[in-house]
Structure 1
């Protein structure tokens, strides 16, 4: 078993408390609503460092006008499975697209998740 770690960073015009409420606290309801084609199912995972554990998500104020969201992902592979850079790049692109949909929803619905 190997461990593959990568980081992702997004900036947003949406303040961190709204992003946290929408994406983390209600993501299992909101994401299928705004991107039904992207999500087969959602589940909040509280891990122990093993497979599918969310290690760290940081929501920080970028300025008074937005946020910077940084994630660190630790992928624990089984056996001799190898994670290739192109798979990581494709995953980051999908995550970026989903994040942009979320951001668009929050801009269009300024009273949501206040």
Structure 2
């Protein structure tokens, strides 16, 4: 029987919520190859009809040999830039078919009283029956933290970027 695992995680940042959301979520496919070329070779929208009701957006990330898989395709289920909220489903690569049956994540970046933000991540994975879940959740949390801390450092170093 396949097991489902869910986790919730928070990452604090000194960067304002709209900037962090725009750079770290909405435009991550643009920034990833630039900020982490040792991991992400390229990234792009595969299907895009952004802005219309029921629109479908699929993004693909192509990885170097540093990752255990060569690509990841995600379907954006929900994106609300005003509320800094995003939900996606993994549809190809990233372990789909080899260890994972299904994966979804919901990200919300909320402002804090000090002008920074907190990134709240809720993820669910359904693993294939033969897969033992060892450090997968820890690795996922480390990966999400690395993405947002990389974006945070970039935005602090480039205060003119992603101003909203």
Give the TM-score of the pair, scaled to structure 1. Answer: 0.83
Based on CA coordinates, which of the two structures has the bigger radius of gyration?
Answer: 2
RMSD, matched Cα: 2.1
Higher percent of residues as strand: 2
Please state which structure has a larger fraction of its residues in helix.
1
| 5+ residue gaps, structure 1 | none
- TM (normalized to structure 2)? 0.60
Tell whether the 8 Å contact from 1:28 to 1:42 is kept in structure 2 after alignment.
no
Matched, 1:7 2:8: yes
Q: In structure 1, what is the equivalent of residue 132 of structure 2? A: 82
Aligned residues: 111
SS of 1:51's partner is strand
Higher RCO structure, 1 or 2 (CA under 8 Å, sep 6+): 1
Alignment of 1:17-96 (within 5 A): 17-39=18-40, 40=63, 41=71, 43-46=73-76, 47=89, 51-54=102-105, 56-84=106-134, 86-96=135-145
